Amino acid sequence: MRTKALLGAAAFAAGLAASMAQNVYSLNVVGYYNVTIPPNSFALIANQLNTTNNTLNSLLRSVPDGTQIFKWTGSTFSVATFEDPGTGGEWSQNLTLNPGEGAFIRNNSATPLTITFVGEVLQGALSNPIPAGYSIRSSMVPQSGRVSSVLGLPAADGDQLFRWTGSSYSIATYEDPGGGGEWSPAEPIVNVGEAFFIRKGAPANWVRNFTVQ
């Protein structure tokens, strides 16, 4: 999966607002990023920009007829197909894709599919609950980096993370037999717009305090 992040900067707007008013407490930051899925391929994608309607019919309207989404329920996949006979398509199931969630997408066309996500960067105290067992998760904000040391993903001994490479999974296991644990064979690095499978022995909250600088 080839991912390009192009997020709007807010420094000029923040400076202008501060010069006009004494009490400016926050400023919404809106941006976008692109995710490209090769032809006839699967990818694990994430919507990391919040909108007023984080559903497939709102987020993914400009995809080819027959594009599919596979969202993990905890025991199986809910499958939605984009049906566009030429009169304005819609998804067979209007599933959610909220920041922090993720899903497989299948590009069933013979050409690369580029999806543009547009919305607001979430800021402040963010919490992404992760259940025990298998789930698909992503960062709630469009930031790339090492999953724990940079993005703050909590990990306990025996937890596993599965990154989709396009044809198979790259698997990392967190080893912490007595404190000071680390990922083996290496700490996974995830891209903007990328989701991953995680298997946890116990539920946890992925908590971040995030502010756009």
pTM recorded for the entire structure: 0.86
Burial status of residue 114 (CB atoms within 10 A of its CB: 0-12, 13-18, 19 or more):
middle
**Of 71, 98, 119, which closes a domain?**
119
- Average pLDDT per consecutive 10 residues, the chain (213 residues; last block may be shorter): 40 33 58 97 98 97 95 97 86 98 98 97 97 98 97 97 97 92 97 98 97 86
Give domain status of residue 211, yes or no.
no
Q: What is the pLDDT of residues 143-176, one digit of tens each?
A: 999 999 999 999 999 999 999 999 999 999 999 9
Tokens of 211: 């502010």
Dihedral of CA 143/147/151/153: which sign?
A: positive
Instruction: Give a yes or no: residue 68 inside a domain.
Output: yes
Domain boundary pick from 69, 89, 119:
119
Q: CB within 8 A of 189, min separation 6: which ones?
A: 144, 145, 146, 147
Task: For residue 58, tell me if it sits in a domain.
Answer: yes
Range of the domain at 182: 125-205
